[in-house]
Amino acid sequence: MKSYKLIIATFILTLLFIAYFAYESSRFNDEAKAYSKVKESAYRLEIAFSKNHLLMNSINSSSNNDEISASIALVERMTREHLELLGQVDDTYLRTLADSITQKSAVLALLYEDLKSDNAQLQNSIMWLSKSYKDYLFMLKEGKLDEKTMSYIFDIVNARETKELIRIHHIKPNEKLQDAQVLDLHLGLIQTLHELINEHYAKLLVNDITPELKSAIDYSSKKIELIKSEFTRIILLLLISITFLVIFSILLYSRELATKNALKAAQNSLQQFVDALNESAIVSKSDPTGRITFVNKKFCEISGYSQNELIGHSHNIIRHPDMPKELFKEMWDTIKSGKHFKATIQNMTKEGSSYYVDSLILPLFDVNGEIVEYMAVRHDVTELILSRDRALKAEKSKDEFFSKMSHELRTPLNAINGFSSILKRELKEEKQQRYLQYILDSSKHLIELINDILDLSKLNSGNFKLDIHKVDLYHDMESLLHRFEGNLESSKITFHKELESSIEVTLYADWLRISQIITNIISNAIKFTPQNGDIFFRASYENAHLKFSIKDSGIGMSPDVLERVFKPFEQADSSTTRRYGGTGLGLSIVSNLVGQMNATMNVTSKEGEGTLFEFSIPLQAQKAKPKGHRAIERSDSDKLFGHILVAEDNKTNQLLVKLLLEEFGLTCTIAKDGQEALEIYPKENFDAVLMDENMPRMNGIEAFKEIRRLYGDKTPVIALTANVMKGDRERFLEVGMSGFIPKPIDEQELYKTLQSLLGKH
């Protein structure tokens, strides 16, 4: 439309140029004609004036006065006509010439009259002399005229006969002729008239209008040439302008045509897009008040409503009652401000069933930027939402299963570990000590297996989170490697350890997970390296990266085995499991931990020649190295003092906890569940509370909250539980408990926790 307007404007402009050219052409033509008339008139007047001037100069005794009068009348008439033409032209210079011609013409008219009068008188005197010429000859013979006078008379008469101009050179009759008064009168008159005529001729020359006429001719010629030049320039400019406008119009038309074709193609493409959108998406439009103005077929199909039932109504017709009103308030605030709104919304069909849609609602604007309507594009995600809910439910069930399994396994293991440790301290016979150690090792192995399964579950579910804290790298690395000395010695494997001085730094890291990686790899190296073999360990800290490598001279792996060993429950083959044991979880956990820490791992292995693991973990170092820490070691002289309330429903664990506390020098009261603990708490003066969670009647957290509500927070409460899934520790600490001890109970950890809390009371 805009291009068409430009084409019309160009056409109108072209017409205006043509009209201007026609006007200028007419004006130039009129001016040229006027100057041409002035030029022609001046030229004819110049010729007539020249003829008249010649006639005046040839006046003699035989000149015809009628001819002279006619010539003068012609010049005067043509002068009037010329002056009239000059007056019609709006030109200052021509008006100046006209004024000059007018003044000279007035003088010339008088001169012409004087010349005619003087010439008439002159001719009368000359005619009288001609008639009296014989008498003068007679008077010459008689001596009455002198010869000089007679010669003068002869010249006059002869000049008339020969039609020559009168030229009197002989005498100037100053004396009176004797007896010739009349002759004397005529001769004097001729002399006077001759002089007057000469004066008139001089004045004629002074008032000659020929220069003005020539100027008018030259000026008119120049003006005509200038008009022609200007007219030519305007014609050229007009042609250029029209050519430009025509070219511009052609370009505009071509562009408009191209735009029209492009628009048509875009419309076809848009229509295809709209058709595809209608086939794949749920589309609707509404006015600024929210009333539906358009719905596509898919909208009707999924909602169960017809177009007539939807158009004119608001989208409340499909709103599910479970959707919060705040969501729709946020939606209106967003789209009214001109922004897009995205959300997953639960709707309800005409029959009352639910369906879910991913919605994009956007405002549509007019040319002034005002919102004229809203468009909503939705996609049916009902199956996706239901699948997600099923997956979340399954994940929750899995977490509950692992949590329950962990609790149920750790509870008897707590008793096994606890009583085995107590018996090992009390029984001194070497054979009994060895049997108890077998029990403790098997129990430890079972706990590690449970931990691996739980860790893998957390890693795969995305619930895993690193616990970053300060780590004295050299000290902790030494302590970790020291744990393998017994296994290495019994396996007759030589362990080569190289700890560079660069690791004598304090880092921010999750040391538990780093040690888990090292433990898994070294344990596998010990497992798969034959007796008299070698294991090499090297560690350094370079460029903000902890780098360590573990190389063994074990059985190694083929390339196809390398592709499988990092998958859960995978080993080289079934014979590996039978010969070396294991669940196949270790390397899978290592691979996941490496990914969690943004680390890199490189594995090189060749069957029969051993395996090399190389790790690089980005870690931030602390500038100042803190003082080394020493674990709190318990001895018989380090007895604690205090009275403890133990809430535990498992009788075996009740007995175990009581024995441990008594070893620490503490006394305790046992409550079999949370309700009983709540009843016992106010009756005795307790220094601390050990609270299990999973108990009948009232669980540990409920009992803790009631104790705090009723009696305040003067007594520290420690969670003592087999619930060690992701978030369990945080959950207990967030409600206000003073500590967390997982089962199976680590005696040293329990001792340190109680020592730190009881030391404050």
Render pLDDT for 326-360 as a digit per residue (tens, 0 to 9).
888 899 999 999 899 999 999 999 898 999 999 99
- Tally of helices (H runs) and strands (E runs) in the chain: 23, 18
Distance CA 196, CA 175 (A): 21
Distance CA 495, CA 555 (A): 17
Q: Among the three residues 459, 489, 509, which one is the final residue of a domain in this structure? A: 459
Q: From 644, 651, 745, 647, select the one nearest 700 (Cα to Cα).
A: 647
CATH number at residue 323: 3.30.450.20
Residue 628 domain-assigned? no
Q: What is the average pLDDT across 740-751?
A: 83
Distance CA 730, CA 718 (A): 13
Distance CA 231, CA 238 (A): 10
Residue 634 domain-assigned? no
- Would residue 45 be called left, alpha or beta, if left means φ above 0 and alpha means ψ between -120 and 50 degrees? alpha
Asked whether the beta carbons of 318 and 284 are under 8 A apart, the reply is no
Please state the pTM of the whole predicted model.
0.37
561-615 pLDDT per residue, tens: 776 666 654 444 444 444 444 445 567 778 878 888 888 999 988 888 889 999 9
Residue with tokens 């007047």: 45
At 220 the three-state DSSP class reads: helix
Asked whether the beta carbons of 287 and 293 are under 8 A apart, the reply is yes
Domain of 402, in residue numbers: 396-459
Residues 451 and 579 in one domain: no
What is the reported pLDDT for 229? 79
Q: From 669, 665, 664, select the one nearest 644 (Cα to Cα).
A: 669
φ and ψ at 361, to 5 degrees? Answer: -115, 125
CATH number at residue 668: 3.40.50.2300
Q: Is the pLDDT of residue 616 over 90?
A: yes
Residue 164 DSSP symbol: P
Identify the weakest region by mean pLDDT among 87-91, 122-126, 320-324. 122-126
Asked whether the beta carbons of 334 and 360 are under 8 A apart, the reply is no
Beta strands in 641-696, from DSSP E residues, in sequence order: 643-647, 667-671, 688-691
Residue 313 DSSP symbol: S
Residue 647 domain-assigned? yes
The two structure tokens encoding residue 630: 């020493």
What is the reported pLDDT for 627? 41
Whole-number Cα distances in Å, 272 to 228, 269, 277, 362, 741: 64, 5, 8, 21, 66
Distance CA 442, CA 349 (A): 60
Q: Among the three residues 380, 404, 428, which one is the final residue of a domain in this structure? A: 380
At 373 the three-state DSSP class reads: strand
Peptide bond into 744 cis (omega under 30): yes
Buried b (16+ CB within 10 A) or exposed e, 696-723: eebbbbebbebbbeeeeeebbbbbbbbb
Residues 33 and 150 in one domain: yes
Residue 633 domain-assigned? no
What is the reported pLDDT for 410? 61
pLDDT class of 690 with cuts at 50, 70, 90: very high
471-512 pLDDT per residue, tens: 888 888 887 887 777 677 777 888 898 889 898 888 888 887
Residues 211 and 113 in one domain: yes
Please provide the size of the chain in residues. 761
The two structure tokens encoding residue 443: 């129990």
306 or 626, greater pLDDT: 306
Residue 273 domain-assigned? no
236-280 pLDDT per residue, tens: 777 787 787 778 778 777 777 787 787 788 777 766 766 666 777
The two structure tokens encoding residue 355: 């369906």
Q: Is the pLDDT of residue 407 over 80?
A: no
DSSP 390-430: HHHHHHHHHHHHHHHHHHHHHHHHHHHHHHHHHHHHH---H
139-150 pLDDT per residue, tens: 766 666 667 777
Residue 690 domain-assigned? yes
Distance CA 590, CA 583 (A): 14
- Neighbour count for residue 496 (Cβ, 10 Å): 10
691-737 pLDDT per residue, tens: 988 888 899 889 999 989 888 878 899 998 876 666 677 888 888 88
Residues 479 and 522 in one domain: yes
Residues 597 and 652 in one domain: no
Q: Which amino acid is at 584?
A: G
Residues 24 and 111 in one domain: yes
The two structure tokens encoding residue 425: 């301290």
Q: Among the three residues 180, 203, 218, which one is the final residue of a domain in this structure? A: 218
Residues 604 and 514 in one domain: yes
Asked whether the beta carbons of 718 and 668 are under 8 A apart, the reply is no
What is the reported pLDDT for 292? 92
Residues 660 and 540 in one domain: no
Q: Is the pLDDT of residue 755 over 70?
A: yes
Residues 57 and 186 in one domain: yes
- Would residue 673 be called left, alpha or beta, if left means φ above 0 and alpha means ψ between -120 and 50 degrees? beta
Residue 230 domain-assigned? no
DSSP 295-314: E-HHHHHHH---HHHHTTSB
Query: Would you state the torsion angle of the CA atoms of residues 521, 526, 527, 529, taken in this order, to the nearest 10 degrees?
Result: 110
What is the reported pLDDT for 586? 65
Domain count for the chain: 5
Burial of 163 (0-12, 13-18, 19+ CB in 10 A): exposed
What is the reported pLDDT for 403? 59
CATH number at residue 482: 3.30.565.10
Residue 45 domain-assigned? yes
Asked whether the beta carbons of 49 and 111 are under 8 A apart, the reply is no
520-559 pLDDT per residue, tens: 888 888 888 888 889 999 999 998 899 999 999 888 888 7
Rg of the chain on CA atoms, in Å: 68
What is the reported pLDDT for 170? 40
57-101 pLDDT per residue, tens: 666 545 566 777 777 778 778 887 777 777 777 778 777 877 777
Q: Which amino acid is at 560?
A: D
Sheet-wide strand order for 506-509: 469-472, 506-509, 620-622
Mean pLDDT for the chain overall: 77
604 or 8, greater pLDDT: 604
Residues 375 and 429 in one domain: no
At 127 the three-state DSSP class reads: helix
Residues 193 and 319 in one domain: no
Query: Would you state the torsion angle of the CA atoms of residues 24, 25, 31, 34, taken in this order, to the nearest 10 degrees?
Result: -150
431-462 pLDDT per residue, tens: 676 676 667 666 665 665 566 566 555 555 55
283-297 pLDDT per residue, tens: 889 999 889 998 888
Q: From 269, 429, 284, select the one nearest 361 (Cα to Cα).
A: 284
Percent share of the chain, pLDDT over 90: 12
Residues 524 and 618 in one domain: yes
φ and ψ at 82, to 5 degrees? Answer: -65, -45
